Structure 1
Amino acid sequence: MVPVEAHLAHVLAAIRPVSPARLGLAEAEGGVLAEDATARCPLPSFDNSAMDGYAVHASDVAQAGPDSPVTLPVTDEIPAGDTRSLMVAPGTCVRIMTGALLPGGADAVVPVEWTDGSRQQARFTQPAPAGHALRRRGDDVAEGEVLLAAGTRLGPAQIALLAAGGHGSALVRPRPRVAVIATGNELAEPGTPLVPGRIWDSNSYMLAAAVRQAGGVAQRHRVTDDPQVVLAAIKEHSGPADLLITSGGVSMGGEHDVVKAALVDHADVAFSKVAMQPGMPQGFGLVGKGPTPIFTLPGNPVSAFVSFQLFVRPAMEALQGLTPVPLPAVRAILTAPLRAPAGRRAFLRGVLDAATGTVTPLTGQGSHQLGALARANALIVVPEQVVRMEEGDPADVISLP
């Protein structure tokens, strides 16, 4: 059997990053920058007020106090977005809103809470030192400074920074487009009536959700147990997709291994036994003119889920030019004993309590048992040579996303 690390290394060696594309900011979300993004102007680009209040000469309110207020005439009002070039003369003030252009002459903003809020003659009961409540030009980012480095994944904050820095688009490696193909004559669409011998299709929904959670764009497909139909679907979707995932049809020696049968003549797709449980039968390779990477995952849902986290998730990161980062792992104390098969690394479903540093193995560890998987927030890793662990033993635990 192939070790887990060896199979992952084989996968990552075959992955080539998707080509960069210049996308508008809305479309670039979730993408990974392919070049540094620099500030096209200072941020902020002009001196402005950090608070609602009054723009003043600080010296004019230096003596203000609760028992000795200073009164200044209000000569104008500046809302955010007002582009007029105004001046504040000594002995006067201008009412100003947060983010508004600071008028010439002013060197402080007195918060409205320190005044009576008047629009004619404002009373100040507290001094404001020079520089108070001001945002100076370039305080955040200097012109030409790198806003975001190549290799940065664009989330909400990064998109905001690009927009604030004057970028309407970005050169990114886009979110991988992933086609999920579930196989099986037994599959029915959830919500439709079932007859004995049929099951509702959960794998395609689960894997598509996992793709989106990992930063990709997923499309779901379902085909029957016919090798020609499976092959046609793989050919059809390998063109527009950056990655293909099939589930089912790869068991070792079964006569209904339709995915293996469909790809039997594809020398670039290899099927192997990986030393793990669940998820021993694995297939990976390249198909189509792209060529497009394809993962052929087991049909049991827990096997497919664990396989995705261990192999597909890192491949998706590599597709965006990133160095794959393993899921967070910690050591935790078992609250109950567990068993595992000899010669295979087990990934048992559990509930990790970070506060106490403990992990509880769940009942229902079969590769078909979605109930335990849905309750789990972690995988308990049992080494290949270990067949039993006791309550109180330390264990390696992978946190699930």
Structure 2
Amino acid sequence: MITFKEAYQRVLDYPLNFGVERVPLLQSTNRILAEAITADRDFPPFDRATKDGIAIQYSALVQTRHQFVIEGEAAAGMPQQQLHNAENCLEVMTGAVVPKHTDTVIMYEHITIENGKATIHETVKKGQNIHYQGSDEKRGAIILSKGTKITPAEIGVMASVGTSNVLVKGLPKVCTIATGNELVDIDTFPELHQIRKSNGITLEAALSKLSITSTSLHVLDDKQVIQKELGKALIENDVLLLSGGVSKGKFDFIPEVMEELGVEKIFHRVAQRPGKPFWFGIHKELKTVIFSFPGNPVSTFANYHLYFLPWLHTCWGIPVTQNFAKLSVELEITPPLTRFIQVKIERKEATVWAAPVDENGSGDLTSLAKADGFICLEPKDAVYGVGELVQLIETR
């Protein structure tokens, strides 16, 4: 049995390369950029009016008076208009190109218009209410870096620079595999000795947040059946995510079958709770990585976030970030196991506080719906005190 830190590092030591692909912009949500996006022109591309009102030449305001004859108007979408007489003004709308020979915009709220003339009632500052060309980004500037996760905000940015198709990191082919004779379909009412297939559904839902559409498989506790089905799955997928079959029970065949299928065991059993029986390996010839999690729901869910997600980020070449929270209560964690405790978090000003949720062990599926994530507590002699900073793994 190895420590959590050793297991974590060994998992990250076996990344895969899934390549890149170009997809339509609207299909890129939650994907990872595989190219830098640059501005194809200045942003904004022209001096832009930020208020509805009038555009004037500031020097005329200083040298003459506060009343200006209105020559015409400039609206958004119109080519640049021109002020012909420096002592006059043009009405201008938000988003319009600031007219030629004008350099200041005064909003309607600060003027009155009567008989074709605009009278200014407020103090005016030269250049006010103008968003200047290139003040956001210059043409050619990198506006989205390679490795950025694409959200609706990034979609909007790329649309503004004409990126209709975008290069993104490739997605792995993933199969979620549940083992056990006790499992039945979720639309079946189980007998007293049965449970529904919740682990596989949970993993599929988690993968969908990454835009990964996985396949699923349920294998019974029969060694020959398991070997046949896993042998096929190894060939067809980049990643296998298993739940169950890795403990020390009489029908826990996964470690033995993996060895017979040519999978190299990297480790089996980690000094952690939940998820101690976790098995990890790789089929080097097929380039398939296997995460075999314990069958308890909390164990499967925890190990997915503790190991698979950081591993996938490593595969994509993006940083694995660490978050922290302060404890709301004292906790004692005695050797030798690293503990992952489900918590509810509360944000107060700039601080994140974590408080344990009530749970009844790693089989308590309903506790997952109460928690925002896990805190990582290494074993130590002293208690973890209130306010102590600990690692936080958010799952929401």
Query: TM-score category by the smaller chain?
Result: 0.7 to 0.9
Q: Tell me which of 205, 209, 231 is aligned to 1:209.
A: 205
Q: Distance in 1 between matches of 2:305 and 2:114?
A: 61
Residue 370 of structure 1 aligns with an amino acid whose one-letter code is L
User: Hey, what's the Cα distance between the residues in 2 that align with 1:357 and 1:75?
Assistant: 56
Distance across 2 between alignment mates of 1:134 and 1:390: 55
Does residue 344 of structure 1 match 2:337? yes
2:66 touches 2:119 (CA, 8 Å); kept in 1? yes
Aligned residues: percent identity?
26
**Does the CA-based 8 Å contact 1:41-1:143 persist in structure 2?**
yes
1:52 alignment counterpart: 52
What 5-or-longer segments of structure 1 have no aligned partner?
none
Deviations 1:74-101 (A, max 9, x none): 413x33222x342112233333222222
Find the aligned partners of 1:261 and 1:85 in 2 and give their Cα distance: 75
Q: Give the equivalent residue in structure 1 for 2:305.
A: 309
Please tell me whether residue 131 in structure 1 is matched to residue 127 in structure 2. Answer: yes
8 Å contact 1:352–1:359 — kept in the other structure? Answer: yes
Q: Secondary structure, in 3 states, of the residue corresponding to 1:346?
A: strand
Q: Does 2:108 align with 1:115?
A: no
3-state DSSP of counterpart to 1:93: strand
Question: Shift of the alpha carbon at 1:242?
Answer: 4.4
What is the DSSP-based 3-state SS (H/G/I as helix, E as strand, rest coil) of the residue aligned with 1:31?
coil
Cα distance in 1 for partners of 2:161, 2:352 equals 43
Q: Which amino acid aligns with 1:223?
A: H
TM-score normalised according to structure 1 size = 0.84
CA distance in 2, matches of 1:118, 1:229: 88
Aligned with 2:72 (options 71, 75, 79): 75
1:99 aligns with 2:95: yes
Deviations 1:56-79 (A, max 9, x none): 222344589xxx862422413x33
Name the structure 1 match of 2:22.
Answer: 22
User: Using the alignment, how far apart are the partners of 1:117 and 1:200 within structure 2?
Assistant: 73
| C-alpha separation in 1, matches of 2:72 and 2:346 | 61
Query: Is the 2:68–2:87 Cα contact (8 Å) retained in structure 1?
Result: no
Following TM superposition, by how much is the alpha carbon of 1:140 offset from its aligned partner in structure 2, in angstroms?
0.8
State TM-score, norm by structure 2.
Answer: 0.85
3-state SS of 1:309 partner = helix
Which whole-Å CA distance do the structure 2 matches of 1:353 and 1:164 have between them?
A: 36
Q: Secondary structure at the match of 1:88?
A: coil
The residue type paired with residue 81 of structure 2 is: L
* Local SS of the residue matching 2:341: strand
Distance in 1, Cα, partners of 2:113 & 2:276: 72
What amino acid is aligned across from residue 24 of structure 1 in structure 2?
P
CA distance in structure 2 between the aligned counterparts of 1:109 and 1:394, rounded to whole angstroms: 54
Q: Contact 2:175 / 2:217 at 8 angstroms: preserved in 1?
A: no
Decide which of 159, 178, 183 is 2:179's aligned counterpart: 183
Shift of 1:156: 2.8
Q: Which amino acid aligns with 1:70?
A: Q
Which SS does the other structure have where 1:299 is aligned? coil
**8 A Cα contact 1:74 1:119, kept in partner:** no
**Residue in structure 2 matched with residue 34 of structure 1 by the alignment:** 34
Whole-angstrom CA distance in 1 between matches of 2:106 and 2:346: 49
| Residue aligned with 1:274, SS | coil
Supply the distance in 1 between the matched residues of 2:383 and 2:125 (Cα, whole angstroms): 66
| Greater Cα shift, 124-133 or 3-12 | 124-133
SS at match of 2:278: strand
Q: Which amino acid aligns with 2:340?
A: F
Corresponding pairs, count: 390
When residues 74 and 124 of structure 1 are mapped into structure 2, their CA distance, relative to the original with a 3 A threshold, is: farther
RMSD: 3.2
Q: Following the alignment from structure 1 to structure 2, what is the Cα–Cα distance between the partners of residues 193 and 232?
A: 29
Is the alpha carbon distance of 1:238 and 1:59 closer, same or farther for their aligned partners in structure 2, counting shifts above 3 Å?
A: farther
Distance 1:111 1:39 in 2: 30
